[in-house]
Amino acid sequence: DEFISSPPRKTVRFGGTLTDILLKYEKGETTDFELLKHQLSDPDIKDAQIINWLHEFRASVAYLTKEFEQLISILLKLPWLRRSREVVEEYLGFLGNLVSAQTVHLRPCLRMIVSQFVPPRITIREDDVDISDSDDDDENLSENFNTCHRALQTVARYVPSTPQFLMPILVENFPFINKSERTLECYVHNLLRVTVYLPTLRLQILELIIEKLLKLDVSTPQQDIEDAEEAANNSNNDEKSTEEGLFDMEEDEERKGNKVVSSRSERMAHPLAERLDILMTILFSYIKDVCHVDGKLDINNTKDLYRDLVSVFDKLILPTHASCHVQYFMFYICSFKLGLAEAFLDHLWKKLHDPNNPSVIRQTAGSYIGSFLARAKFIPVVTVKACLDLLVNWLHKYIDNQDTGANAYCDVALHGPFYSTCQAVFYTLIFRHKQLLDGNLRKGLSYLQSLNFERIVMCQLNPLKICIPSVVNLFAAITRKYQLVFCYTIIERNNRQYIPVVRSGTGGDLVQTCTNPLDSFFPFDPYMLKRSKKTIDPFYQFWEELSAEDLENLKKPIKKGTSEDEDDDFLKGETPQNDGVVGIAPNSYDSYTRSPVSSIGSPPDCYVLYPQ
């Protein structure tokens, strides 16, 4: 009776010590071994029991060879993270002993640790359907992640080859993009933490994260984001008007509190854009933290990270057409120091003028140069001029070589990089002409005249026919005003030569005119993700709205010999300011023809009337 009523001692082992059980199993006696597995799998197992078992396992790691994979699998499933501090410390010691004595178990150990990089799953039943997702309310989540990183560091200390085994596991465990925002946020954050203590993996981890961000980015075109935001705004307005009709009380409005309203207004209406926004915010924070030590820019850290990011940019971003947001990681790191921005421009320039690169890569590099020069506030005029000199000189040399002979005709397939460079120059001039002329008008005009735009515009390759019409029209208006070149005769001739293309479809024949033969886009068009936008906006050059007066002034040529004092209002106007809102992002000319009113920050599709 006494034996039956007394609880079993927690130290009781079936068949003696753990070593005895393992040796018996090797001889074919499996009873004690099965009992051991059953006890370790018990969901009600106590902390003291776990500690005692782990203590014995640590002493017996030499016996835990490959044939005990199943037993190790059960040990790795133990809920050690949510246990007492003593259990956690004992478990970390066990992991270290296990991987140092039996490296055959390294992969399962790494898989177990990485699986803890996301919040635990909870199961909710709705109408007999399981809805499983991450548990956002776990208060110990941050502490659990810290412990996971300690475990990973412990394993890496004992097994120097850990990084090469870890990377494939990080790739295969990356959550699907339709998982909850919290799951994606935690996983990406933990991946970036790994780069701090395993620096050899940084480049590969950045590649992995940016590849996933790109998939999100290209799945959410700007038009879809704008449509979702517009629909959300309309539904919010409808709700507000209904509420005001029912309860016309100011007290109720005040009681709603600002916090909820602001947090809702920060959310993106498009679910994939919301995920991308959160992840871009994390990436920007990581870049800032790596590059700054005690609030000051660390040049060596910044240069090292810049090299890794440029490598990722070349491999993933440059070959991807029309991504909207991810490329801004280069924009952001370049804002830290002018030397980085100049290095990035030099890097793009080498891509552009190297004939060994594929034409599409050269064209994209041209788009990046133009968009970067136009949009980056931190690039001074002196750098803009140096880049314009480089690009325009290359254009003139290209014309020297190509403007006579068999290939001296307008053809995107033959001269794609040339047209892309022309568009980059035109686009830069549209955004920067006021700064180039600021201070000393005569000197500025002399510089612009030295670029000899007339020769570029008048050449047989006819760049005005290929570049996006909105860019061409603004360039034509500005160059006419300063009497640099008169483009309208060529534009009119080109318009007469456009050949409509008939495309047949299920809805009947559709007549289209190809207005973007380069299929070009401007990579640094206005950034639309609400949270991460706050990081970019201080460095970003928005397009200033052209008033009716400005448009009128664009039609008036400046008189030769005008002194600075006689400068007209348009010239006295400041350079584009951050608060300017108008226009659209010209990824393609099609988007111009249906430009939403809500789009901000890019030149509008502005047609200045041709002079008679």
| Per-residue pLDDT reduced to its tens digit, 191-201 | 999 999 999 99
- Among 219-228, 334-343, 392-401, 556-565, the least confident range: 556-565
Q: Is the pLDDT of residue 261 over 50?
A: no
Please give the Cα distance from 276 to 214 (Å, whole number).
9
Contact between residue 249 and residue 299 where contact means Cβ atoms under 8 Å apart: no
**Which of 219 and 546 is assigned the larger pLDDT?**
219
- Say yes or no to pLDDT of 175 above 70: yes
The yes-or-no verdict on residue 178 having pLDDT over 80 is yes
Q: What is the pLDDT of residue 262?
A: 38
DSSP label at 528?
-
Average pLDDT of 517-536? 89
Beta pairing class for 292-293 and 129-134 = unpaired
What tens digit of pLDDT does each residue of 392-414 get? 999 999 998 887 777 778 778 78
Which has the minimum average pLDDT: 76-85, 124-133, 200-209, 371-380? 124-133
Render pLDDT for 115-130 as a digit per residue (tens, 0 to 9): 999 998 765 655 555 5
Looking at residues 426-451, what average pLDDT do you find?
A: 91
User: How does 113-148 read in b/e, with b if 16+ C-beta sit within 10 Å?
Assistant: bbebbbbeeeeeeeeeeeeeebeeeeeebeebbebb
State percent of the chain over pLDDT 90.
50
Q: ∠ CA(127), CA(128), CA(131), 5° rounding?
A: 85
What's the whole-number mean pLDDT along residues 435-453?
Answer: 90
Q: Are 529 and 216 in contact (CB under 8 A)?
A: no
pLDDT at 402: 80
Find out whether 438 and 444 touch, Cβ atoms under 8 Å: yes
Q: Which of 360-369, 537-546, 578-587 has the lowest mean pLDDT?
A: 578-587
Q: How confident is the model at residue 305 (pLDDT cuts 50, 70, 90)?
A: very high
Per domain, the residue ranges of the chain are 1-121+140-162, 363-502+516-522
pLDDT tens digits, residue range 148-164? 999 999 999 999 999 99
- Mean pLDDT lowest among 39-53, 254-268, 474-488: 254-268
For the chain, give the mean pLDDT: 81
**pLDDT beyond 50 at 597:** no
Task: Enumerate residues 6+ apart whose C-beta is below 8 A from 295.
Answer: none
Residue 505, pLDDT score:
55
pTM above 0.85, yes or no: no
Could you tell me the pLDDT band of residue 536, with boundaries at 50, 70 and 90? very high
Q: Give the tens place of pLDDT for each residue, 10-25.
A: 444 445 688 888 888 8
Q: How far apart are CA 599 and CA 582, in angstroms?
A: 7
Between residues 327 and 490, which one has the greater pLDDT?
Answer: 327
pLDDT band at 113 (very low <50, low <70, confident <90, very high): very high
Please list the residues that pair with 132 across neighbouring strands: 123
